[in-house]
Amino acid sequence: MFMEMTRTTEAGLIARILAGEKELFHELIRPYERMVYVTLFSIVRNETEAEDGAQEAIISAYRHLASFRGDAKFSTWLTTIAINEGRKRLRKTKGAVEDSIEEKEESHEGDYTPAPLTDWREIPLEAGGSVSRRMCEPPRGRRVGGWSAGSSLRDTARGTHRCRGS
């Protein structure tokens, strides 16, 4: 019953707005403002973009109100506009990111020199041994339940794991 009354009221408001009573548009969209914002926020994941997108979606709904046929609920139509606005904003953001990457590649083409990589074979074994021994010592006043090679998951859960070299 309430839905029927709301749809009838919305249809009446839409007819009056289209007849020239433009100030009634806010009354029409007021119940859905938060829904539009939340819909956009769930898509763009940014408060500022969601606010801007919500404004654009509401403006778009106002501009295209004459194309609302009434086959679906007004809230469904408005949500669809919000979703499309969110998708449009994602495409713009994605395009900007892709453009900036391409610009960087083109502007620095040939300028890139890779940093020399460290040859791990040159690190003495003694250094590695002292590091692994220190890693197996628990911090002072604490019990450690980490896992290392040679321990089973059961040992790790009990805190009785073995460290390499012990």
> Residue 156 domain-assigned?
no
Output the pLDDT for position 142: 47
pLDDT tens sequence across 19-52: 999 999 999 999 999 999 999 999 999 999 999 9
Range of the domain at 64: 2-105
For the chain, residues with pLDDT lower than 50 are 1-2, 128, 130-135, 142-144, 146-149, 156, 165-166
d(CA 33, CA 79): 10
Alpha-carbon distance of 25 to 20, in angstroms, equals 10
Query: What number of other Cβ atoms are within 10 A of residue 155's Cβ?
Result: 15
Cβ(136)–Cβ(163) below 8 Å: yes
Give me the amino acid identity at 7.
R
Q: What is the pLDDT of residue 21?
A: 96
Split into its structural domains, the chain has a count of 1
Q: What is the dihedral of CA 86, 92, 94, 96, to 10 degrees?
A: -150
The helix/strand/coil state of 107 is helix
Q: What is the pLDDT of residue 110?
A: 59
Residue 142: inside a domain: no
Q: How much is the pLDDT for 1?
A: 45
Residue 94 included in any domain = yes
The CATH number given to whatever domain includes residue 17 is: 1.10.1740.10
Residue 147 lies in a domain: no
Closest C-alpha to 65, from 103, 25, 101, 30: 25
| Cα-based distances in Å from 164 to 125, 137, 157, 158 | 14, 11, 18, 18
Residue 158, domain member (yes or no): no
| Res 31: pLDDT | 96
The whole-angstrom separation of Cα 130 and Cα 147 is: 18
> Is 161 within the bounds of a domain?
no
Q: What is the pLDDT of residue 75?
A: 96
Report d(CA 61, CA 14) in Å as an integer.
11
In a domain, 134, yes or no: no
What was the pLDDT predicted at 95?
79
Residue 96, in any domain of the structure:
yes
